[in-house]
Each structure stands twice: as C-alpha cells, then as structure tokens.
Amino acid sequence: MANNDKIQLSFASRAIHLGYDSSTHEGSLNPPIYMTSTFAFDTVNQGADRFSGEDPGHFYSRISNPTQEILEKKLAGLEEGEAALATASGMGAISATLWTLVKPGDQILVDETLYGCTFSFMVHGLQKFGVEICFADFTDPDAIASNLDGKTTVVYFETPVNPNMRVVDIAAVSAIVKGYSDDIMIIVDNTYCTPALQRPLTLGADIVVHSATKYLGGHGDLIAGAVVSTATIVEQIRLYGVKDMTGAVISPMSAFLILRGVKTLALRMERHCQNAQILAEMLVCHPAVEKVFFPGLATDPWHLIASKQMDSFGGMLALELKKGFAGGVQMLNNLKLAKIAVSLGDAETLVQHPASMTHSTYSLEERQRHGITEGLVRISVGLEDIDDILWDFQQALATLVPEATSVPLGYTGKDS
C-alpha cells in the first residue's frame, strides 16, 4: 500500500491493503508464503548485525518471517497499535505475554469469568510458580479498586466475556487502574469483537490479545494467535515470551491464511452481527427459552456499555433453556444445520455446552462462582442464510415445547 499510506481509508479497505506492497514482491497480488526455517547472510558481518538487531532483516523463522511480518503490520494497524506479534495459537499469545510480564510474587487481577484454558493457565499454571491470581467482578468499579495493591502487575479481562456475554467497560477499568498506577499493564482479549468492532488500545488498554483461530482467520482452517501493543512491549514478548519461554511460533502458512481471512473481516463481521441480532430476537421470545444473553438486545444489562465501546454487537450469544442442562442437550442433539463444536467465528453456526466442553477445566464450584451455569448454551452465529438458521433453531426448540405450534413473536424470517 506504499502509494496509499497517507490516504485515510476505511477499516474494510485497510483490512485489504494495509501492510503489504505488491511492488516489493514482483507484483504478486497476494503475499508470498516464505516456507523457510532460516535465512542466508551475504557476510558474517550481516549475520552479526541481524542477531544484534542493528540490521532489521530476518535470520530465523522462530523469531520472524516475511509472511508473518506482513500479517503483524496489518494487525497492528487495524488495532491502532504500534506493533504486533503473531503466534501459534491464542493460548500461545496469552501465555507468552504473561510469562514476559510477571514474576513470582506478582499479582494478576482478573475478571471473574474467563475462557476455560486461560483460567486453567492462570490458576493451574502461573500460581504454581508463585504468581497470585486475584478474581474480581470487573463490571463493579469498587471490586476492581479494592483489589489493586502494590503487587498488581497485570489486569486481565475479556469483553464480551466468554461464555456468558458480560460486557466490561474498557475505558472505566483503564481509568481506575491507571489512576492507581501507570505501571500496571491492562490486557484485553479482543477475540469476540476483533478490531472490526472494538479497539481496546484506543480506550486505555496497553495490550490486546487474540485467538486468530476465530474471526480473524474466519474459516476454521488454522490455529493462531496475536498480541498487539507498543513496539517495545511486543519486542519483549517476541524475544522472551515466544523465543525463550513458549516457542509458540506461527507457521508461514497460517500467517498467509489469516491474511486471506482478514481481507473479508469487515464483510463477515457485518453478516455475523446481523444474523446474531435476528436470532437473539427470535430466541428471547421463544417459550422454551428462559434467558438470552446478547448485548444487542435493548433489555440486556450490558446494552448501553456495548453501544458505547463496540461498533456493533458481535456474532456471539448465549442462552439458558427452561429445561436447563437436559433441555440444552436435547436442543443441541436435534439441530440439523448448526454444528455441535467448540471454537467460534467460522462460516458455520457452531453451538456448544461450556460446562462440559470449553469450560470443563473449571470445577463445578468454580463454574458456579464464576457465573457459568450448567445449562448455559453458547452459540457462534454463522454466515448461513438467516432464514435457515432460524428454521434450524425453531425445529430443535420445538422438541422441548411441542405444544407451541405457532411461530414465536419476534420471528423475522420466512416460513419454512
């Protein structure tokens, strides 16, 4: 995009053009895939300069790779950060970041609900090495302020929260934390929204992490992660958290596939959001449904905060059925179009049961304490025709309330 660097392009245009100049790659419209583990030097001096950092060129793909570099420039620009680091998985991004920032005796202040593997890494991993993990309700400002102390090094949260869709006010949390100490690093997992819908760095966060497996890739064909922050912090994570601690190195092919996926990110997120909104409005009126958790509903307790910090309400929702866990099993087992699968952000609608799947690393008591009920069902609303999605959930829910033969109020699709 060399000739367009100074043009103020929209997000969708930047997602396509940012970070790549075809003129430096023999006119190739798509970035080349550099399938190499190492790079040859012209001289010993050049090799020495690359190892020392005086020459910014590549020398080993565990550190950097040209395909990876193109992706990192794009992600940094889209998140409005200085630099980015692409990793082998979302957990690679999270673990490499935290291994870099904390040491024994430090405290990480964490929201009360987290993705299951993040929770497991912190509670069953970092705590073994002397890092204190302190949980607080991040929707309550007093709970955050009262748990900050001189040992707090990192404040970490997701928003919207996986899987129960609570929304944390990024700007409010940042103001409280930075009012206590500028040295505390605020990390936000932006996987659910992507920079197409939410940019935490502009709201006071220091670091953004992603599971790029999800919406950034968008097609369910890769595993990857990303970190975005200042150039200094990203370089520390690259050289310590990835190179020395985790080895969470992204492959050039995965970097290429994410670059491909990001080109359609804005378009896909628009469709995900539209479909999720319509499905939520149908589900909230269905006689089999106890409650729907989706910030796009005006009745949702997090609607106002989400309206303030998100450009749209995302493609994820959750629900509780009146028949609880058994009802959830019955509904999932009767779906015909949607797939029972973990992960999210794919073209396909994916449905899963957190208590027995993604959040099974929590004990029953931990799930109860952290707001993950046994009957909670998480839905990643896909890109299928909305009428087909509505039909599928209608027919599956009909097995729970066969006496309800009429179309529920709020159904906006066509009759099947």
Per-residue model confidence (pLDDT) at position 123: 93
* 307 and 253 in a common domain: no
Q: Rounded to the nearest 5 degrees, what angle is found at the Cα of 325, between the Cα atoms of 322 and 328?
A: 75
The residue from 50, 214, 268, 378 that is catalytic is 214
pLDDT (average), residues 41-67: 94
Q: Rounded to the nearest 5 degrees, what angle is found at the Cα of 108, between the Cα atoms of 105 and 110?
A: 155
* 116 and 22 in a common domain: yes
Per-residue model confidence (pLDDT) at position 385: 98
Per-residue model confidence (pLDDT) at position 411: 47
Residue 413 forms part of a structural domain = no
Per-residue model confidence (pLDDT) at position 240: 96
CATH number of the domain bearing residue 389: 3.90.1150.10
* 126 and 12 in a common domain: yes
Alpha-carbon gap, residue 377 to 332, rounded angstroms: 9
Give me 324's structure tokens.
């609880």
Residue 407 forms part of a structural domain = no
Domain count, the chain: 2
What residues does 350 pair with on adjacent strands? Answer: 339, 380
Q: Please report, to the nearest 10 degrees, the dihedral formed by the alpha carbons of residues 233, 234, 240, 243 taken in order.
A: 180
117 has a pLDDT exceeding 50: yes
pLDDT (average), residues 101-114: 97
* 176 and 313 in a common domain: no
Q: How confident is the model at residue 7 (pLDDT cuts 50, 70, 90)?
A: low
Give me 194's structure tokens.
């992507």
The residue from 21, 55, 60, 62 that is catalytic is 62
54 has a pLDDT exceeding 80: yes
pLDDT (average), residues 128-155: 97
* 295 and 183 in a common domain: no
* 161 and 80 in a common domain: yes
Residue 56 forms part of a structural domain = yes
* 124 and 206 in a common domain: yes
218: left (phi over 0), alpha (psi -120 to 50) or beta: left
409 has a pLDDT exceeding 70: no
pLDDT (average), residues 312-317: 98
Alpha-carbon gap, residue 78 to 197, rounded angstroms: 11
For 217-236, write each residue's pLDDT tens digit: 999 999 999 999 999 999 99
Per-residue model confidence (pLDDT) at position 6: 52
Residue 408 forms part of a structural domain = no
Alpha-carbon gap, residue 83 to 56, rounded angstroms: 14
Its pTM stands at 0.93
Chain-centroid distance, C-alpha 54 = 34
Alpha-carbon gap, residue 71 to 85, rounded angstroms: 9
Please say if 50 is a catalytic residue.
no
For 231-281, write each residue's pLDDT tens digit: 999 999 999 999 999 999 999 999 999 999 999 999 999 999 999 999 999
* 334 and 309 in a common domain: yes
207 has a pLDDT exceeding 90: yes
Q: Which of 222, 244, 263 is where one domain is finished?
A: 263
Alpha helices in 102-148 (DSSP H): 116-120, 141-147
CATH number of the domain bearing residue 15: 3.40.640.10
Q: Which of 263, 294, 316 is where one domain is finished?
A: 263
Give me 49's structure tokens.
């300069």
The residue from 111, 189, 300, 392 that is catalytic is 189
Q: How confident is the model at residue 153 (pLDDT cuts 50, 70, 90)?
A: very high
For 350-375, write each residue's pLDDT tens digit: 999 887 776 677 777 777 776 677 77
Please say if 62 is a catalytic residue.
yes
Percent with pLDDT over 90 in the chain = 86
Alpha-carbon gap, residue 353 to 374, rounded angstroms: 8
Residue 412 forms part of a structural domain = no
The residue from 115, 192, 215, 362 that is catalytic is 115
Give me 387's structure tokens.
């009428």
Q: How confident is the model at residue 80 (pLDDT cuts 50, 70, 90)?
A: very high
* 382 and 245 in a common domain: no
5 has a pLDDT exceeding 60: no
* 310 and 213 in a common domain: no
Please say if 392 is a catalytic residue.
no
Q: How confident is the model at residue 3 (pLDDT cuts 50, 70, 90)?
A: very low
Per-residue model confidence (pLDDT) at position 369: 74
Domain that holds residue 159: 2-263
Residue 199 forms part of a structural domain = yes
Per-residue model confidence (pLDDT) at position 1: 47
Q: Which of 203, 231, 263 is where one domain is finished?
A: 263
State the DSSP code for 407.
P
Residue 414 forms part of a structural domain = no
Averaged confidence pLDDT in the chain:
93
* 102 and 56 in a common domain: yes
Residue 404 forms part of a structural domain = no
* 153 and 26 in a common domain: yes
